[in-house]
Amino acid sequence: MFTVLILGGTSEAYQLAEALHGSGDSGGCGRRVISSLAGRTAQPRLPAGEYRIGGFGGSDGLVAYLHRESIDAVVDATHPFAGQMRWHAATACAAAGVPLLRLERPAWQAGPGDRWSEVDDWPTAVAQLAAAPPARRVLLALGRQELAPFAALDGVHFLIRSVDPPDPMPPFASAELLLARGPFTLADERELLVRHAIDTIVCKNSGGDATDAKLAAARELGVRVLMRRRPPQPDSPTVATVAAAAQWIAARAGN
């Protein structure tokens, strides 16, 4: 049986698992599909077919897992900012001799009317928030584990949007927590920015359409965006669509 491991957590990973499972590929036509979730959210959405939750124990642990489960191919469909996992995947697959494909949505691109400043790290974003003219009301659309650098800023009110509450919550001088999971509509994002008088959005260049409505709303309202660039990634074959990933799997499975 041809066994595929999907390193998941993104919408594309769920769609790929659903497509393979829904077409009968998982277990029914000589293929087994396993999705792996990092387990960083309290109640993760579960993919179609088999799944596992939690880390592998670094690249060595992943090599052992690939051998133990007789994995024939790996699709790395983790978040564009899951930098450590993608490097572990590249190292482990090379060591185990298992083909690896990166499934990654294209990055967002600034267009006419956008007020973007791109940064490589959060300390740079913090410095730009404090620079003249300083930000006063900021939407932090980040992971809950990346908030601490911003807590040092005084004179700024932060609206923190997260799927799960931060634990612990960094000691912000002024902050409000909004628990929400995308996708978000343009109308909802526009209303959110207006209601909270947001003058700056801080986010990562995740790409995709699940959370890009905030950028369209920012463009309409003239809101500044501090966008973190994607980190460097291994030199692996990459596709941008679920259909292309499914074709890659089919070619290696021989059907």
State yes or no: cis peptide before 166, omega within 30 of 0. Answer: no
Q: Residue 247 is encoded by which pair of tokens?
A: 């074709």
Q: Considering the domain 2-105+232-253 in this protein, what is its CATH number?
A: 3.40.50.720
pLDDT tens per residue across span 113-142? 999 999 999 999 999 999 988 999 999 998
pLDDT tens per residue across span 21-78? 865 544 445 789 999 998 777 678 899 999 999 999 999 999 999 999 999 999 999 9
For 116-228, which CATH class?
alpha beta
Distance CA 30, CA 24 (A): 9
Q: Using CB atoms within 10 Å of the CB of residue 44, give its burial: 0 to 12 exposed, 13 to 18 middle, 19+ buried.
A: middle
Beta-bridge partner residues of 225 = 116, 201
Residue ranges per domain, the chain?
A: 2-105+232-253, 116-228
Distance CA 199, CA 221 (A): 9
What pLDDT shows up at residue 226?
A: 97
**2-105+232-253 and 116-228 agree in CATH topology:** yes
- Residue 86 phi, psi (nearest 5): -70, -35
DSSP 229: P
State yes or no: cis peptide before 133, omega within 30 of 0. Answer: yes
Neighbours of 236 (CB within 10 A): 17
Strand-strand pairing, 31-37 and 224-228: unpaired
What pLDDT shows up at residue 27?
A: 45
